[in-house]
Structures are given as structure tokens and as C-alpha cells.
């Protein structure tokens, strides 16, 4: 886990599950936390991507 960027999954959680989860699973397991974070941001991911592409 030291070389893997933080995915929101603690080492204890990974050990409990017995696998390294895909980063997309945070949207499933931590749905409320992720939604709260997304709602609190100034711009959506789509808006940020559009700015990057410009």
C-alpha cells in the first residue's frame, strides 16, 4: 500500500476483504462520502476535463 496512491481504502479494509480493490469501488462502498465530496466542489469533473482540453 505504500506505493499505491490513497484510494480511500485502509490497509485494514484491504486485509479484511483479502484483495486490493479497484479505485472505482469507492463509489460503491463509500457512496455517501463520495457524493458529499462531489457536491461540495466548485466544478464537476466534466467541467474540469473540458477546461483541460481547451
Per-domain residue ranges of the chain: 30-54
Specify the residue for cell string 477546461: 51
pTM over 0.75: no
CB atoms near residue 9 (< 10 Å): 20
Cβ proximity of 9 and 23 under 8 Å: no
Cβ pair 1, 11 in contact under 8 A: yes
Q: Report which of residues 7 and 48 the model is more confident about.
A: 48
Q: How does pLDDT run across 9-35, given as a tens digit for each residue?
A: 888 888 888 888 887 888 888 899 889
Report the Cα 28 to chain-centroid distance in Å: 10
Amino acid at each position: 500500500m505504500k506505493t499505491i496512491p490513497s484510494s480511500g481504502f485502509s490497509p485494514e479494509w484491504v486485509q479484511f476483504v483479502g484483495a486490493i480493490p479497484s479505485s472505482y469501488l469507492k463509489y460503491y462502498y463509500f457512496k455517501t462520502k463520495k457524493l458529499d465530496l462531489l457536491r461540495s466542489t466548485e466544478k464537476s469533473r466534466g467541467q474540469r476535463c473540458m477546461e483541460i482540453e481547451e
